[in-house]
Structure 1
Amino acid sequence: MTRMLRCDVAVIGAGTAGLAAERAARSNGASTLLIDPHFNGTTCANVGCMPSKLLIAASHAAHAARSTAMFGITVSGIDVDGKAVMQRVRNERDRFARLTRESIADIPARIRLRGRASFIAPDSLELDDGRQIEARNIIIATGSRPFVPQQFAKLGRCLLTNENIFDLEDLPRRLAVVGSGPIGLELAQAMARLGVEVTLFDRNDRLGGIRCDKVHAALKRIIESDLALQLGVDLEAEPTDDGAHLSWSGAASGDADFDHVLVATGRPPNLDSLGLAAAGLELDDNGVPLHDRNTMQCGDSRIFLAGDVADDLPLLHEASQDGAIAGRNAVAYPASMQADRFPPFSITFTSPPVARIGQSEEDGVITGTADFSDQGRARVEGCNQGVLTLYAAAPDGRLIGADLCTPAGEHLAHMLAWAIQQGQTASQLLEMPYYHPTIEEGLKQALRTICAATPIDLPQNQDRGDPAGV
């Protein structure tokens, strides 16, 4: 006899979004069930944010050791122990993952269901062990997975994605990285600075989704100083006895052998096994349920999305907010609470960091650019490279977006994201205190450009031709 379980809100997936959704639903009085095949922790802890930053931190240390001569300091005998580097990455990664698993274990056992769920009706799920769940509302938070184009699938053991690269016992000697999005850029530069011979490939001619030509040019120069860059090319791959042979054509042509090929060509949502046909949802061209990003509700159904599976902004802070919104609205159904979403905001942890925030120049706005090649504090620290461009709306110069590749970029990006979310103008931000000498002072050049293009807000009875106001 099939065992039927019932709840107010069933959440499929126990990653960042799913955990936030379950927490929000339960804290608002709903009975919940959280379904996951593994309960192994979050993507961030296991194969994403944290292990990648561990590798990047090691690359910073190696690069700093090689860059002391400008300060009159000689460091000799620098040696990168690849096995030790990767062992620390795994040790610390495993610690982060263990802590996330322990936090999941704090959820009452009666709520956690181990298994794979699929829809058998819009309000019903079946697990792979035969158990069935009837839920008043359902939240899909099944995350995403690496996409491997067909020409690389045959590479076997030398094929890497972000889900297995951190398990390497040693650093490779020659690494091809396919894809110049955040994962590709971060890991390509980190590996290069750890002494790996890296070539970064992409079919497109744009790195990291940067919109501003000046910022992109600065990023391209920086990346090319660390590794070989091949943009605008198509790739063919063949396995060899000890790796892979790649050949490319397009903007350039060539071929080379590599020990490993890291494929970082995107992460499509995990939807294939959910039986969405039984859910009765309308899907977009990519098979993702159509949904309202401000409520995370799919049409007028009782089904909600959260996190990477929504295929909107695959970022941890967005996944967490998605989950909170979906969990709250699942409890409130049929009422719907519209959430104020964050401005689009992403950081790529290259050196220097790259950030993209809000709207861009394509929206017909005022722009201001700052070049950090001669910025005071950046020169002091020997990291004087990069460009920042701000976007502001006329007529008041309200900040609406930014592209940047600058020293301390992750911190400047947070300042700007907060200012944009609060609706601040360039003149308001320029009136804030800037301690000297700091990297933050580098914002002033861009802010002043925007202020110069913005009319002064005069009292109603005063204009530029009547200074007395009478």
Structure 2
Amino acid sequence: METIRCDVAIIGAGSAGLTAYRSVHMAGKHPILIEGGPYGTTCARVGCMPSKLLIAAAEAAHSVKEAPGFGVHPGPTRIDGKEVMARVRSERDRFVGFVLSGMERMPEEHKLRGYARFLGPNRLQVDQHTIVEAKGIVIATGSTPQIPPAWAAAGDRVITSDAVFDWTDLPRSVAVVGTGVIGLELGQALHRLGVHVVILARGSSVAQLSDPAVKEIAAAALREEMDVRFHTQVSAVERVGDGVRVTSRDTSEREVSEVFDYLLVATGRKPNVDQLSLELTGIALDEHGIPQYDSKTMQCGDSHIFIAGDANNELPLLPEAADQGKIAGANAATWPEVKPGLRRTPLIIAFTEPNIATVGASYEELCRTHKGSFAVGMVSFEDQGRSRVMRQNKGMLRVYGEYGSGRFLGAESIGPRMEHIGHLLSWAHQTEMTVEKMLEMPFYHPVVEEGLRTALRDLAQQLEKAPPPKQSCPDCTPGC
């Protein structure tokens, strides 16, 4: 078995691993990037980009359906599933190609194929062929979508989102389990492309929302268009010919059995850390076996080991993975000198229609950290001018501000163009603007952003009042 030495070993060549590699390389140190799976990143292969390709096709179909509302009457709509998926796969492969081109430009001595596991704090074994000794190590092994073993027994008709983008045609029917971002995005896209879709949720969660008022509006908007069944549990899954029978049970104990072409499981992803032999590193692990780390430096304890991206189970988002990878790589290259890196304002967007966006501190978080010391402003998009012009007048935006300082703390929303408004709010949050300063910014007419101004004006009025007496926050409990 060959032994090689380097300054920093990076386990995983996804978004976090690649940015970590660049940080180490720019620091003038010798990195080795270890990857056992296919190159190409989760985002490019099975995540951000292919899902948006499917959503774009769904938006085109939905626009045709909605056109008569404007007095425009197109001819019969024909959705060619094979053409839809051919474009999804073709453009997906193009995005993956960009990543592969970058990998090809890396020096060969910086790349090592295989799966790594720890032999000790500074030693890794890669498959059965190489020992790597490194001064610093970055864990960037990503995550994997999970299927309950009992459901997996039904075979290849029980899938995760990873499998969707290899379809060569659209199926006739799909049951989606989970109302997180992935389940809602794919479920709505498939529904709009003519697939019979049923979405099942064990609780009442809607994407990343925690504000009860926004969550209620979001659930109603989604259920108005699709068959979304909250508080419904899957009790049995079995293979039936070329399909799968899904039996579900609601809170009244009423059971329903239906046959679908596929069961799409979108109930979360598991960090890929269980095969790393982390117990040999000496670093502290949490109850799930994930290394405990400093979110500003990405350092595990005071060790030379750093962790970034989906592997740490913090926020499984590409921008977060990239930022964390940059910090982890830079600190691994200079260890034992370690510095805090830039952690940006949290921004999460679900590309549903309407968009769902959260910025900064969530309502649930503020109920813990600012109980009785934050105010809420809101706007409904039902009568907002530009939203009605576009016939997209659904949703609600709730913005949060701090009594005394007037500082903008965060927002939760579902509404038209929230992917863009969310960015405006995240910039305001990161620069620690007050609500007063935000209202001094320009607002054109007529734009959806005028709805944001309405919410900020409402928040400003609430902040002028005396804060309420400190009391319990009964509606802050997740899922209530």
Give TM-score, length-normalised by structure 2: 0.93
Q: 1:282 deviation in Å?
A: 1.2
1:364-379 paired onto structure 2 within 5 Å: 364=371, 365-379=374-388
What amino acid does structure 1 have at the position aligned with 2:384? Q
| Correspondence 1:238 to 2:238 | yes
**Take 1:191 and 1:88, find their aligned partners in 2: how far apart are those partners?**
15
Q: 1:454 deviation in Å?
A: 2.4
CA contact (8 A) 2:401 2:463 kept: no
| Correspondence 1:140 to 2:139 | yes
**Take 2:298 and 2:311, find their aligned partners in 1: how far apart are those partners?**
11
**Take 1:343 and 1:149, find their aligned partners in 2: how far apart are those partners?**
34
**Cα offsets for 1:223-280 (capped at 9, x unmatched):** 1122211111221211111211111113253221111000011011011221112212
Q: Counterpart of 1:426?
A: 435
Q: Greater CA deviation, 19-28 or 269-278?
A: 269-278
CA contact (8 A) 2:402 2:463 kept: no
Q: Counterpart of 2:306?
A: 304
1:149-188 paired onto structure 2 within 5 Å: 149-188=148-187
| Correspondence 1:98 to 2:97 | yes
What CA RMSD, in Å, does the superposition of the two structures yield over aligned residues? 1.2
**Cα offsets for 1:183-224 (capped at 9, x unmatched):** 001000000011111110111112112112221122112211
Q: Greater CA deviation, 164-173 or 184-193?
A: 164-173
Q: Counterpart of 2:292?
A: 290
**Take 1:176 and 1:454, find their aligned partners in 2: how far apart are those partners?**
45
CA contact (8 A) 1:59 1:191 kept: yes
Q: Counterpart of 2:475?
A: none
CA contact (8 A) 1:307 1:322 kept: yes
**Cα offsets for 1:70-126 (capped at 9, x unmatched):** 111111210111111111100110111111111111111110111111111100111
SS in structure 2 at match of 1:68: helix
Correspondence for 2:330 among 321, 328, 331: 328
List 4+ stretches of structure 1 deviating above 4 A. none
What amino acid does structure 2 have at the position aligned with 1:234? Q
Stretches of structure 2 that go unaligned for 5 or more consecutive residues are 466-480
Q: Counterpart of 1:351?
A: 353
| Correspondence 1:415 to 2:424 | yes
Q: Counterpart of 1:209?
A: 208
CA contact (8 A) 2:179 2:201 kept: yes
CA contact (8 A) 2:12 2:35 kept: yes
**Cα offsets for 1:143-202 (capped at 9, x unmatched):** 000111223111212112111111112111111000111100100000001111111011
What amino acid does structure 2 have at the position aligned with 1:263? V
What amino acid does structure 2 have at the position aligned with 1:388? L
**Take 1:341 and 1:393, find their aligned partners in 2: how far apart are those partners?**
21
**Take 1:343 and 1:359, find their aligned partners in 2: how far apart are those partners?**
9
Q: How many residues matched?
A: 455
Q: Counterpart of 1:267?
A: 269
Q: Counterpart of 1:76?
A: 75
Q: Counterpart of 2:129?
A: 130
1:12-31 paired onto structure 2 within 5 Å: 12-31=11-30
Give TM-score, length-normalised by structure 1: 0.95
State, as a whole percentage, how many aligned pairs show the same letter: 43
CA contact (8 A) 2:180 2:205 kept: no
**Cα offsets for 1:337-364 (capped at 9, x unmatched):** 0124112211111011101122133233
Stretches of structure 1 that go unaligned for 5 or more consecutive residues are 457-470
Q: Counterpart of 1:461?
A: none
**Take 1:445 and 1:211, find their aligned partners in 2: how far apart are those partners?**
22
**Take 1:128 and 1:158, find their aligned partners in 2: how far apart are those partners?**
31
CA contact (8 A) 1:39 1:104 kept: no
CA contact (8 A) 2:323 2:342 kept: no
CA contact (8 A) 1:397 1:450 kept: no
**Take 2:140 and 2:362, find their aligned partners in 1: how far apart are those partners?**
30
CA contact (8 A) 2:398 2:455 kept: yes
**Take 1:301 and 1:77, find their aligned partners in 2: how far apart are those partners?**
64
**Take 2:216 and 2:46, find their aligned partners in 1: how far apart are those partners?**
30
